[in-house]
């Protein structure tokens, strides 16, 4: 939500991942949809291991942190910046079929 408007970035809104890279210390991605582009850059900070479900058991471990710094930049189709801000106490989890997303 920014200035009273809720921006939704989901498959059901037609949003598409245009760019995604990650390594042990950073994640960057860019999503477009509805004539807008959201670019995000995040620091991967070590966190805690959480239990996650796999079928019927909670034996998978997922690294999640509440200490990441994320910069968000929202632009319109003309390149005008609607938002350029940084959150310094954000939660982040990098998990799942990430390699499949990067290959897009």
Measured in whole angstroms, the distance separating CA 57 from the mean position of its chain's CA atoms is 27
Give the domain ranges of the chain. 11-99
Q: Could you read off the pLDDT tens digit of each residue along the chain, which spans 104 residues?
A: 888 989 999 989 999 989 988 887 888 999 999 999 999 999 877 766 666 667 776 666 666 777 788 999 999 999 999 999 999 888 777 766 666 666 65
Residue whose C-alpha is closest to residue 16's, from 41, 43, 34:
34
- Whole-model pTM: value is 0.75
26 near 9, Cβ under 8 Å? no
Count of other CB atoms within 10 angstroms of residue 59 = 10
């Amino acid at each position: 939500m920014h200035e009273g408007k809720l921006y939704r970035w989901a498959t059901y809104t037609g949003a598409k991942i245009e760019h995604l890279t990650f390594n042990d210390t950073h994640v960057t991605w860019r999503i477009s949809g509805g004539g807008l582009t959201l670019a995000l850059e995040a620091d991967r900070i070590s966190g805690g291991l959480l239990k996650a479900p796999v079928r019927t058991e909670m034996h998978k471990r997922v690294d999640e942190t509440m200490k990441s710094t994320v910069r968000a930049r929202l632009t319109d189709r003309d390149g005008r910046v609607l938002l350029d801000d940084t959150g310094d106490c954000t939660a982040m989890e990098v998990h799942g079929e990430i390699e499949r997303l990067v290959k897009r």
